[in-house]
Amino acid sequence: MGSNRVIIPIVVAAFAAILLMLIVRGLMGHHGHPQVAAAAAQRPMTQVLVAHRDLPTGTRLASGDVAWQPWPADSLNPAFITDGRSAQPVQTGAVAAVTRTAENAVASSAPMDAVYGAIVRVPMLANEPIVQTKLVRSGQGGYMAVMLQPGMRAVAIPIGVSTAAGGFILPGDRVDVVQARQNQGAGAGPGYTAETLLRNVEVLAIDQASQPAKGAQAMVGATATLEVPADDAEVLARAKAQGEVVLALRSYADAGGPMGSGGNGRQATGEVHIYRGGIVTDAMVTP
């Protein structure tokens, strides 16, 4: 009996403690959480332009690369690009000042369209806010270096209307680089030899224009900048020292062909049979 008198008060006290804990939790659930949710619902939000996917260096921004995302106005950075509308609900004080600063930084009525065509200079992750310091546009410093693919070089060569397909070569087109030289050396016959030096290389710019004007069908310039593999930069350097080169415009249907050093452009005119060790092989010959 004595032990029961000790155990019963302990059990009652334990049940009372559990009941008190449940009551306190219930009160917090009914009063605390709704207040937190209401506070979150009243937090002013604005729309910030973010990367819609991972954007590596060299990506030219287009539709689908960026998107609008709600962003708390009180953590808005003035460098972020917003849709230009005030955060809702309207706030005063420091939050409103930050929001107005970001809106004033948006010079275009369509800020999403304004970033299309820019090239990513610094890699960005999905949902990361777009900032101007990570982009580069035509005419800005470093633009050409960002456009180049890894392992490629930009080489400029002199051109004219007669050596650039009548001026119909535009930035972004693919061309072959051809050169004609007079035969020289002992035993060389009279006349000239034509050779395709490089095949299927991209034209990065005509003069300082990396993009043709809207609706332009031709561009007449004095210099074409080509994107070539690093080893082939020496091929163009030698060709420039030897004389005039010609850019042969490729069809869009041939743009997916192999790229690199070309070969002798002379056409085979005959076939000879070679007998060696009882084996016959055929070979084409050129004049």
Q: Is 282 exposed, middle or buried (0-12, 13-18, 19+ CB in 10 A)?
A: exposed
Predicted local distance difference test score (pLDDT) of residue 107 = 39
Q: Is 216 exposed, middle or buried (0-12, 13-18, 19+ CB in 10 A)?
A: exposed
In 10 A of CB 189, how many CB atoms? 7
Q: Do 126 and 207 reside in the same domain of the chain?
A: no
Where residue 105 sits, what CATH number does that domain have? 3.90.1210.10
89: preceding bond cis by omega (within 30 degrees): yes
Predicted local distance difference test score (pLDDT) of residue 80 = 92
Q: Do 98 and 126 reside in the same domain of the chain?
A: yes
Predicted local distance difference test score (pLDDT) of residue 133 = 86
> Identity (one letter) of the amino acid at 235?
V
In 10 A of CB 11, how many CB atoms? 9
Q: Do 172 and 256 reside in the same domain of the chain?
A: yes
On whether residue 255 sits in a domain, the answer given is yes
Predicted local distance difference test score (pLDDT) of residue 117 = 86
On whether residue 210 sits in a domain, the answer given is yes
Q: Do 236 and 208 reside in the same domain of the chain?
A: yes
Domain final residue, candidates 77, 103, 136:
136
Predicted local distance difference test score (pLDDT) of residue 41 = 55
Q: Do 100 and 124 reside in the same domain of the chain?
A: yes
Q: Do 81 and 173 reside in the same domain of the chain?
A: no
Q: Do 116 and 183 reside in the same domain of the chain?
A: no
Predicted local distance difference test score (pLDDT) of residue 38 = 52
On whether residue 29 sits in a domain, the answer given is no
pLDDT < 70 regions, the chain = 1-6, 9, 11-13, 24, 26-41, 86-109, 139, 141, 185-190, 262-287
- Backbone CA torsion sign across 61, 65, 69, 74: negative
Burial state string for 253-273 with b = 16 or more CB within 10 A and e = fewer than 16: eeeeeebeebeebeeeeeeee
Q: Do 120 and 207 reside in the same domain of the chain?
A: no
Q: How many domains does the chain have?
A: 2
On whether residue 253 sits in a domain, the answer given is yes
On whether residue 3 sits in a domain, the answer given is no
Q: What's the pTM?
A: 0.54
> Identity (one letter) of the amino acid at 165?
A
Domain final residue, candidates 75, 103, 136:
136
C-beta separation of 169 from 206 below 8 A: yes
Predicted local distance difference test score (pLDDT) of residue 193 = 80
Predicted local distance difference test score (pLDDT) of residue 137 = 82
Got the DSSP string for 230-250?
TTHHHHHHHHHHH--EEEEEP
On whether residue 5 sits in a domain, the answer given is no
Q: Do 173 and 227 reside in the same domain of the chain?
A: yes
Alpha-carbon dihedral angle through residues 155, 157, 160, 165, given to the nearest 10 degrees: -50
Q: Do 186 and 244 reside in the same domain of the chain?
A: yes
Q: Do 243 and 180 reside in the same domain of the chain?
A: yes
| Paired strand residues for 180 | 194
Predicted local distance difference test score (pLDDT) of residue 214 = 80
Q: How far is Cα 111 from Cα 85, in angstroms, rounded to an integer?
A: 12
Predicted local distance difference test score (pLDDT) of residue 60 = 85
On whether residue 36 sits in a domain, the answer given is no
Domain final residue, candidates 111, 136, 161:
136
Predicted local distance difference test score (pLDDT) of residue 269 = 41
Q: Do 113 and 202 reside in the same domain of the chain?
A: no
Q: Name the residue range of residue 200's domain.
A: 150-261
CA distances from 265 to 177, 199, 284, 287 (A): 11, 11, 14, 12
In sequence order, what E strands does 132-173 have? 135-136, 152-158
On whether residue 274 sits in a domain, the answer given is no
Tokens in use for 189? 């016959």
